[in-house]
Amino acid sequence: MTPDFATARDVPFYAVIFTSKRTSQGADYTKMAEYMLVLARQQDGYLGIESARNEDGFGISVSYWTTLDAIAQWKKNAEHQIAQDYGKTNWYEHYEVKIARVEKTYGKL
């Protein structure tokens, strides 16, 4: 098993499914993405994250949380920090966020 996987077995828990298309601009993107991860790890209720991105810039990140409240706290924290530190940089052509309650998990372990 690889560290890419965010194995979290006790349902229910919550997932934030973030799909995005990167713009070609945005040199600070990696720094911002790492920073978001640091913030997530510090947040109560964080269970893990899984991320993949195609060469054309389309990517999916799914972060996992114990409660909706933990997600709301992280969002508030992250938005505040991004606004403060990175201004109006436009990293995404388009993005979508879906918040979901994970009800069942299985896999090849």
Residues that bind a second copy (CB under 8 A): 1-2, 4-7, 15, 17, 19, 21, 50-55, 58-60, 62, 92-109
Judged by beta carbon, residue 25 or residue 54, the one nearer a second copy is: 54
- State the nearest-atom distance from the C-beta of 99 to a second copy, in Å: 4
For the beta carbon of residue 35, count every other beta carbon within 10 angstroms. 16
Q: Cα dist. 97→60, 72, 78, 93 in Å?
A: 10, 13, 14, 14
- State the nearest-atom distance from the C-beta of 22 to a second copy, in Å: 11
- State the nearest-atom distance from the C-beta of 58 to a second copy, in Å: 4
Judged by beta carbon, residue 38 or residue 68, the one nearer a second copy is: 68
User: DSSP letters along 64-86, please?
Assistant: EES-HHHHHHHHHHHHHHHHHHH
